[in-house]
Structures are given as structure tokens and as C-alpha cells.
Structure 1
């Protein structure tokens, strides 16, 4: 097993032992052997480690040459990545910009004629869409630097936005659940109070000031008002959706949104968020006959996160345009939706084509290596 990164020269970490050896040799003019190290440690462990750690840290910080070499290699990798994936990146950015512009137009629309429930729906969908646009930008930033697994983690969040937006949008066609958007917005009060209580338990350990008692009292009052308004079940993580979706968990919300088929992708992306064994094991792969652990950038595996991100962003945008202003869709909205769908397909095609080039290049290298 080995570690895989894009670097070809010694990194600062790899030079750590060299720095320790140099400092010992300079300080005592001794041959560095295991016996010497043991003697130093036995005579004065703390003074020794304090002195050595300070010296090593100073040497690392002063090693400008290694830092520059690594930075140069990173720039070279980024240039090669852009050369191979540049067109795919360009289409991704265009699709993201199209979705963002659609959201900006929705924000400027007249909402005076909407009912209170429709206004709540508009507010929830606008805010969900705005954050989805931001997270899509984060996905692009990670993909364009060679971190597809990090992008995949953010795709998980985008999927949650798409599901939540879809559920809220669908509820507007259900007379019995037209207040779902308001429930979603009001649930912030539950989260605020819980986080404040948690902070009050932790602030001493964090060496931070407490939340003022008056603030806690106001939060608790609002919390109790929400429980009185919506019931005890509103306390739950998805309590805002309990009446609309009796099984108030995210899997059930996926089904209500018609997106249950994305469950396996969601679980895959979850492996890049949590510390479970499955996700940890996914951080390794076979590379040229060896099992390697990923510690750096890669020029492969960008297609799936890119497609997932644009799919979720498209879904969130469509819900906003169709449901965000009381179901009134104008010609500009229709054009935007059709354009975004074309760009979604184009993004998937370009990333798949770029991955195929990478795969062919690696296959050619492997053949040449065997001959």
C-alpha cells in the first residue's frame, strides 16, 4: 500500500526526519543513532522535545525552496487538469450562471399578490436556491483543483436542497399542507434554541463568553411558542415536515419528492462527509498495480460529482421558477428552464468525454509499461 499525491519532490512532511537529524547533528556533533536518541530522551524528555520541536518548526518554515517546488508542481498539475477538463469546466460554469440568473429574476418578481402561504413558499425557495448556487460554486472550485471527493461531499448538500425545495414546492398543490413552507422557515427557531443550549454547556471548555441570559430567555420563549403552535413533534430534526410526511426523515422526504432513485448516490456522497469505515475505504484505489491511499489531487473521477451537482441545481431552479411565484411561469422562465436542461446534458457529456480521454491515456501508459 502507498500514499498517492501529485507531488514528485520531497514535501515538507517527508523532510521532517531530515530536519531532526540535522538539528541533532548540529547541536551535539554526534552520529545520530538509536542509542543517541534514547539517551537524549531519557535524560530530559520534555526539554529535549521542546527544543527540538521549536528548531524543527523553524527549519520547516525557513525551507522556502521546498515550498516553492511544491507550489510549482501544484501549478503544473492545475494547468494539465485545465487542459484536459477545460471545456467541461466551462460548460459547468455556464450552467451555474444560467441557474443563478434565473434565481435573480425570481427575486425581482412582484409578490404583492401572493397569499401568505405563497409568500412563505417564495421565501423558502429563493433562499434554498441562493445557497444551492453558492454550493454549486464550491463544487466547481473543488473540481477545478482536482478534488472530486470533496466536490462529492458538497453534492450531498445540493441533493438535500433539491429534495427540500421539491417537497415545499409540491406542498403548494396540496390544500391540506399549504403551510409547509412556513413550517420550514419557523423550524429555524427550534435549531437556534438547541444550538444556544449546547453552546451554554460548552462555552467554559471553549474559553468563550456565555450567551446572555436575556437572549436565552427570548429564544426559549420563541421555542415554546413554536411547540404550542405546531405540537411536540415539531422538535424533531424534520419536525417541520411531520404532518406532510409522517415518516419525518430524509429518506421519506426523498420519496415524497419523487427522488428516491437518488438514494444510492446520496449514500455514496455521505461517505465523503462522515467518518464511517465505508467512506474511509473508498479513499483508496488500485493504481498501476498498487493499492494507494488518496492524500492529494487527482485528474480522474470528476464526471459523477459534476453531473450530480448540475442535476440538483437544475431541480432546485425549476422548482423555484414553477412554484416560487404562485405557479405563474412566463416566457423567460420557460426559456431559462429549457436552456438549463440543455446545459445539464452538455455538462454530463463534456465531463464523460474528458474522463474517457484520461482513461485512454492511462490504458496507453499501462500497455507501454508492460512491453
Structure 2
């Protein structure tokens, strides 16, 4: 990871959009070394601009589209996969190649296949792996499409919703997949079942990864939805019952909302004396909640569903029961990729 982006200030757009400045490792080797051994994620690509292409002083505006995952999270993913000698592993989301290198060191390069949708990421990752003495199979491939091969373990450092059917088809009998559910920060482990599906659970650990994409950037309509919600006058305007919260940093709320109403995009901004949270869904539903300096909250909502009301219902349940049922839930993955979670009398299903 010779170059990476660091965020300076938030920028208009979906959650995660910012103004970014490039950092060049060779310019300060002591800092580069310290960064490499820091347990943090580092952004390597913003929208369509890779840090490798940026000159000193360059800046970019947008949301991250690739990163080097923090090491402790990778270790957690590999532990949940229960890897043993002799296994063949598919690494979904090559990125910088760090996770691929760890797997190759554990199993040998001939037992590791790593794929990424972005050819620009694959080529330098393969070169770095080769220089480090690791020679896994590294390919440019859309992980949500057909896969040519079979593996004992599939470990994804990108999030999906639902599970791609190609993963289930490529998982050997008794094999295990480890991935995160898009828009919910939930870590799923599931073992293949004889019917072609998988069974497991939502782990208590959390994992937030970028969602799978089919191109070099995320679709512009995501930005458009957020911008509509930022300025539109709501069809329904009312006082909020709870303070404004940054949903994507309130993991329990984010996870429960993500399985209650899958597909919501979030944006959160703090001013000198105000806080604004925005939610937007592809079905046209949106909400904007603004907390004034005196603590009063005004909520604008539009579209077919009242998204802030859904969030308030989850917060009310959390306060009443002291927990939310999604973490630790039993999970069933159908052969078509639909994920059903069940805990006690609560259950929900995410399908395509």
C-alpha cells in the first residue's frame, strides 16, 4: 500500500463522501511503516480515482470504493471461517491484496483464489503478492456472477444482499461462507446444506464492508436520492421523539433497520449547533431529521414509507426490551440466496 487517501472534511453526497488528500509512503518512510502496522482501514480508491494515480498534494471528492481492511477484522473473518490445512479458499474482494497474502501464508498460494471486479486493483495486488513471495490465483471477476471452481471456504471482504447463488454453487459439501450483509453491518457465517443452501447464524461480531459493485464506482442515483432528501419539503413534517443519531455509527440500530427495511442509504452531518440525519430508499421513501440547538427535532418524510418512524419503532423496542434480536440470530440461506434470520418469535427475510 504505497499510497492511500485520508479524509479532510465531509463533502456533499452519500454517507462516506468527503474531500480526500493523498498520502505517499515513500515521502515519509517512518510514517509509512507505522501506518502499515496500524490496526485501521485505509482508503485506497475514492470513486474512480486510485491513490496510486494521485500526485503529491492531489485531492479527490467522493465516497471510498476500495480500501485495505483493518488487520484485526481480517483475523476475525478467518477465525470464523475455521480454516484448516489443505483447504481451498476463495477470497472475494482482492483490494490491496493484504488479506490474500495472509491466506497464502497460511495455506500456500496454490490453495487460494482471490477475485475483484476492478482490474486496476487486481494487477498491482498480484505484483505485490509476487514480490512478497506469494503466488495465489488472482483474477478480475464480478463475484456476483458465475464462478469457475469449487472451494471449501468463501470469505468475502465486500458485503452482499442476498447471498449470490454462484457462491452457494461453488461451495463444496460441508463448506462454509463468511460474509457481511449489505446495509446492516452483520457478519454471517453459514455452512452449506444438502439442498444447495446454507445454515448458520448472525455472529455477535460486527463487520462493515463496502457493497459489491459491477463497475468502477457506485451508481449516481444513490447521490441523487440523498440530495433530494437534503432539500425537499416533506409530505409529512412532525416533531421527533428522540435525538438525532448517526445511524451508521449506532451499530445495533443500523443492523436492525438494515434488515427491517433493506436498501436504505444514510447521510449524517454536524454543523456548529445542528445535527442532520438523512435516509433515502430506492423505492422513493426518504427522511430528513434536523436537531436544533435547543434540542428540538424536526422530521421531514416523503415517499411510500415513513423511514424515521421505522427507526423510532426500533429505538422504542430497544428501550423497552433492553436488546434487539438480530445479533446471534439463527440464519438460513435458501438455494436462491434469500437470507432468513430467526430468534425467538422474531424473524425476517431478505431476498432479491
TM-score interval (norm. to shorter): under 0.3
Q: More helix by proportion, 1 or 2?
A: 1
Structure number with greater CO (CA < 8 Å, separation at least 6) is: 1
Q: Which has the larger radius of gyration?
A: 1
TM-score normalised by L of structure 1: 0.24
